[in-house]
Structure 1
């Protein structure tokens, strides 16, 4: 080599050169950026199809509902039809597939986008660092070419993997969402474990309605009837056995229970025709030494009102037997809770919270004067015990209610010596208020943001339900002691609360202050609880007289109608109809078509 060639080579070796890893870093950043962009587009496309339909949905609709399926379900309530029911099932299945498919795409897409962005920013930062030109020592050409070749292959491989993942996500996101949603489906569809609040409000699923308040959701209830002429009497059906419990209505089915100390039964009537759809005996495995309790005439074996959730109907009896039937009359599960130690027999009605069946099992003390009362929550589908809470109260004949305040849902119970609220999900006590009533039978209610509870031979309490611990000194809004119901439960709205005692004295009070607007002697006897339908107050006396009054600050009687049969139950209200049980029959009162 001559001197000139040597000088040229030395100059080339000393000249600043770009790092060989710079180009691979740039290429990696480009590939990762393109990949992240593709994933972002797929995620946006996956999200957009859910938005237009949501504008037609009510505020409390679930992600698995659509405007179409809600409309179809409303049509099904009015016109039960197997083909429409099958279409709803097919659409429900399709919505679930789409919903969970989108969730899967979103989850995978989020992780892929996170990984792509991490690679993009790492490669970009590396490229910026490697871009600075440094004087590199001379190196042999062949090894440098080999390193670059391997690096390019690695970048190409990474790009292929990322692009393949993005394409797979894009293909997967289209999914199986184009099939006919209304095609009948032969697959078994698992129904949600419990109905939505919107569905519950449209029914009469337990004692005194959806929330135990005695307020109807519909105002189109007849204001009179005539059993002699048949005016507004849609049908009248005999009930096979006696019980003091009140009607429970879900869809086109009405549920009642009855029986004797020898046999307990559940009945299901067609709400449209009054036909007895099924009548089932209760079959319960009892302890070997089981003996039926003494049944008191005023209470009977079946004083507790049933509960229904659109999937099953539940009943409990004074001997501790509890049972669940599906809507077709198949017994799903049954158990015996033990004979309650109750002075006048067990009478607490059942209540529901989501999928939980709530049982207030109050009893008298044992021989050592220890409390025996409990509050149970069972899984409605299986009957499995979910939670149990011991209660420091004596036997009562009240029923629990579930209220939803702005702060939290609560189970409200009324007994002596405590009015107690519980967390319905876990059974934890939230607050308690000390009281001094006895033989407590009226159930609590909730109106105008206050809890109302009658303690016979003590006081009527209005309570604020936002406390914790012992709220006896802090959360009583007001009390009265002039009219205290012994059996009938109170009813109220945002302005007024009404109290009715067994002798027929009816009082109207300001819901916020307890100021009395009026008091009236109905000159009749009452065991049934009063009900509110819009601005009207419905009362059923023990002689079967329905009094219709104005729910107003001045007493006004609007009409009287006579069933001609003894009534101790409370009415149920659905769209345009009133259901009332007498000693022997079930009446449906509604306007003739």
Structure 2
């Protein structure tokens, strides 16, 4: 066994061991960033190149517009989408199921409606359906931010419950929900008040809402929580503007926080490896933090920050952990590797394009898609990286791909693609 392969395998085991027993099977892609929630796939024989004549199994037109990532369970794909045109001054918000074998839409349900006012305060890049759903035990939890949340039966698309938490969503909805125990948890960080919200997943009723203890001038954010085990307790890690906090599932109590002086409109999601949380701080002057998580409580800003890095950090794409290094992708295309122990810059590679989607790691390869629709397969090494292939999809995309078994599921502006060597 080569040293490189051994450490790559160790990275995958470290990233997946926490979540696979409680939060999904490793051969599914049932939540944002995959089964371990950290952009790692155990897929094998994944194509490293494709074209119209090679490795594209099907390409299906998807109605509306949305940047939620595709989810896959039992041969069925789940997507959300929003209709840009209005009917009676309302936008239709939809959930659909696609047959992974054929690309056929099996059902398409209008689940919620958004007013013109709710839909108009969006960043130009954002859609009405950017948060990625979560799936557990035959239920789809589709979240549309301030426009509402809905639970659906996986097989039929029947609505089980609806809930709407009203708040001012600057730039539109972005953060995805997570399932933990009997809860569905997401952020409702408005400009006026940043709040972490939990619903009972069986009923949609509010379980708790916790106002963040540290607030800044621009409180709005779009973070996606991450569930970890810390010192024998389950914690919901929720990054926001000016701080990252840990919250108890049972009552929403904030157990610890780390403050950062610059950073708001949080979109990147942390990763958690061997007791260390690695995360960016959002917009303004984005920095990157490594935070030791060891069961401590309270304000850990001055005691538990292992290192910080301040140059060319991502505002939107989430990081990856490969062979003892943290890989970050800056929105303008700067791919770089930081030593996980020290924060030292190992290497930097400029990429062509702009980036919002988060990379997916398969072994020592990263699958990366640009906003312009350029797909890159990049081999990551300790001393640099190698661009293996580049493919133009011909449509913009801000959606992170799903990589399951030997297949890539990629969403672009108008289509969903299945890419596999079985074609």
> Could you say which TM-score interval applies, normalised by the shorter chain?
0.7 to 0.9
Question: How far does the alpha carbon of each residue in 1:19-67 deviate from its partner, in whole angstroms, 9 at most, with x for none?
Answer: xxxxxxxxxxxxxxxxxxxxxxxxxxxxxxxxxxxxxxxxxxxxxxxxx
Deviation of 1:448 (Å): 4.0
Higher relative contact order (CA 8 A, sep 6+): 2
More helix by share: 1
Q: Tell me, what secondary structure is at the counterpart of 1:292? A: helix
Matches within 5 A, 1:510-525: 510-525=339-354
Residue 450 of structure 1 pairs with residue 276 of structure 2: yes
Which of 383, 389, 397 is equivalent to 1:559? 389
| Structure possessing the higher radius of gyration over alpha carbons | 1
2:73 alignment partner in structure 1? 250
Question: How far does the alpha carbon of each residue in 1:295-340 deviate from its partner, in whole angstroms, 9 at most, with x for none?
Answer: 42322211111111141111122443111110121111112211x2
- Whole-Å Cα distance in 2 between the matches of residues 355 and 196 of structure 1? 15
Which of 244, 251, 256 is equivalent to 1:431? 256
1:465 alignment partner in structure 2? 293
2:12 alignment partner in structure 1? none
Residue 317 of structure 1 pairs with residue 144 of structure 2: yes
Matches within 5 A, 1:102-113: none
Change (3 A) 1:246 1:520: same
Residue 333 of structure 1 pairs with residue 161 of structure 2: yes
- Whole-Å Cα distance in 1 between the matches of residues 248 and 28 of structure 2? 24
2:48 alignment partner in structure 1? 223
- Whole-Å Cα distance in 1 between the matches of residues 35 and 45 of structure 2? 18
The TM-score, its normalising length taken from structure 1, stands at 0.62
Which of 235, 239, 253 is equivalent to 2:62? 239
Which of 224, 227, 234 is equivalent to 1:399? 224
Deviation of 1:462 (Å): 0.7
Question: How far does the alpha carbon of each residue in 1:347-369 deviate from its partner, in whole angstroms, 9 at most, with x for none?
Answer: 1111111332112111111xxxx
Deviation of 1:383 (Å): 1.5
Give the conservation status (yes or no) of the 8 Å contact 2:322–2:364. no
Deviation of 1:386 (Å): 2.4
Q: What residue ranges of structure 1 are gaps of 5+ in the alignment?
A: 1-194, 366-371
2:15 alignment partner in structure 1? none
- Whole-Å Cα distance in 1 between the matches of residues 410 and 251 of structure 2? 35
Give the conservation status (yes or no) of the 8 Å contact 1:447–1:494. no
Which of 35, 39, 42 is equivalent to 1:210? 35
Which of 93, 104, 113 is equivalent to 1:264? 93
1:576 alignment partner in structure 2? 406
More strand by share: 2
Change (3 A) 1:290 1:536: closer
1:353 alignment partner in structure 2? 180
Question: How far does the alpha carbon of each residue in 1:549-585 deviate from its partner, in whole angstroms, 9 at most, with x for none?
Answer: 1122122122222222211110112111111110000
Which of 192, 200, 207 is equivalent to 2:25? 200
- Whole-Å Cα distance in 1 between the matches of residues 236 and 77 of structure 2? 25
Question: How far does the alpha carbon of each residue in 1:157-197 deviate from its partner, in whole angstroms, 9 at most, with x for none?
Answer: xxxxxxxxxxxxxxxxxxxxxxxxxxxxxxxxxxxxxx953
Residue 489 of structure 1 pairs with residue 314 of structure 2: no
- Whole-Å Cα distance in 1 between the matches of residues 147 and 305 of structure 2? 35
Aligned residue pairs total 387
- Whole-Å Cα distance in 2 between the matches of residues 419 and 426 of structure 1? 18
2:106 alignment partner in structure 1? 277
Give the conservation status (yes or no) of the 8 Å contact 2:286–2:315. no
Change (3 A) 1:552 1:244: same
Q: Tell me, what secondary structure is at the counterpart of 2:130? A: coil
- Whole-Å Cα distance in 2 between the matches of residues 236 and 513 of structure 1? 44
Give the conservation status (yes or no) of the 8 Å contact 1:378–1:387. yes
- Whole-Å Cα distance in 2 between the matches of residues 292 and 324 of structure 1? 21
Give the conservation status (yes or no) of the 8 Å contact 1:342–1:364. yes
The TM-score, its normalising length taken from structure 2, stands at 0.86
Residue 591 of structure 1 pairs with residue 391 of structure 2: no
> Which is worse superposed, 465-474 or 347-356?
347-356
1:475 alignment partner in structure 2? 304
RMSD over aligned CA atoms reads 2.1
- Whole-Å Cα distance in 2 between the matches of residues 232 and 559 of structure 1? 14
Deviation of 1:470 (Å): 0.4
Off by >4 Å, runs of 4+ in structure 1: none
Give the conservation status (yes or no) of the 8 Å contact 1:242–1:584. yes
Give the conservation status (yes or no) of the 8 Å contact 2:366–2:378. yes
1:19 alignment partner in structure 2? none
